[in-house]
Structure 1
C-alpha cells in the first residue's frame, strides 16, 4: 500500500470513528431522556401522588392544623367577621372543599369565626349632624369608615339619613360604620303633604318619605297617628319636615 492509499485509509477510519462516537453520544442522550422522563420526572412532579382534602369544619384551629398535617397538606388560617349565628372560635369554611383531590403539600385555607373580645350596641345617629354622629359612634368604640351623600333630603344639610350597621345592633368593638348624609332641602319646587292621620307610625313615615319629605318625631309611639303638622294638602319644599303625633305624645 503506497503512501497515498495509506492516507486515504486513515481518513476513512477517522470519519468512521467520528460518526461512531457521535452515534454513541446521541444514543446515550436518548436513553438518558427516556430514563429521566419515566423514572425521575414522576418522582419530581409527583403526577401520581394525590391527597383528598379532609373536612376541618367545626374543628378548632389547632385541631384543623393537626388533621391537615397528618394528610400531608399545608394550611393558612383566615379570620372572618364574627357571626353570632354560628359557633365561635371554630373553622366555619375551607378552600378547597373537603373531598377535593389535590397534590401533597397543597395549601388549604380555613376560615375561623373568631369571637369578639367585646360587643357594643350601635347608637342611633339618624337625624343627627355628621359631627355629632361621629362623636356618638366613637364613644361606643366604633369607627366611622365611610360617609356617603344620600338622595334623601332633610331640613338641614349633612344630617344623617341612614346608617349601617343599624342602630341597636350588637357588634364587636372596632366595627366600621357607614353613614349617609343629606344634601339639605331642595328649593325651586314643591310637593304636597300627604294625609297620614289614622295610619300606623311606620306607614306614616313611609308615606311622608315617599312624598320626598322628612319625618323624625322620635316621641311618636307605636300605634295610630292622631295628628300631623303641617296638615295634609300643604305645599313644602322636598326635604322639609312633617311631624307626626300619637295619643301618647299628642
Structure 2
C-alpha cells in the first residue's frame, strides 16, 4: 500500500470514528428522552417523504423535526427524507425530537484533486465546486509543508458521492524534537530559564510563592513533572521561592 493510500485509510478511520461517536451520543440522548413520562406516539415511516409533508406529519403527532444533514441519493429525490432517527414504529414521547437526513438528489459534481494545496485554497476550491467542508485533521508530516493537504476523502475524481462534504488531512510540518523533562526542583530559576530559552522553549511561566526557609529564586515545583515528554511548544510552569 502506497503512502497516499495509507493516509486516505487513516483519514477514513478517523472520520468513521467521529461519525460512530456522534451516532452513539444521539442514540443515548434519544433513549434518555424516551424515559420521560408523557403521551406516547408511534413514529411513522418518513423515508421518501418530502420535508414539508414530513414536518406536517410529525407536527400533527405533537413531535418536532430536525434536519441533521443532507446526503446525495440516487434513489430518494431532492428534499425528501433519506433516513430517520428514531426508526419507524418506535414509540416516542410527545414533544420529542425526530432527526432526519435529507436527500440532495443524485450527485452532480466530481471531487477535485486538492492534495498538495494549502488548506485554505483547498477549502475555497471545494466550495466553488458546490461541495462543503467536512472535518479537518492535522498530523506531523515530514514530507509536507505546514497547512498543506496530504490526503482527502472522498478521493479526487469521485463522482459517486453520498455526502457533499470533503474531509481533509493536513500537514503540521515535521514533528518537533521531543525531550524528557529534567528535574529542575532545587535549581535557580534564572539559570534554568536561560537554558530553556536557548534550547527553544519560550512558553515559560514563573509563579512566586512565600517560602522563608528556601533561598529566593529556588524552584520548588514544576509542571510538567520530571520525566514527562516535552517539545519546544510545551508550556512550562515553575513555582519559585520569593
Q: TM-score range by the shorter chain?
A: 0.3 to 0.5
Structure showing greater radius of gyration is 1
Tell me the TM-score normalised to structure 1 length: 0.40
TM-score normalised to structure 2 length: 0.41
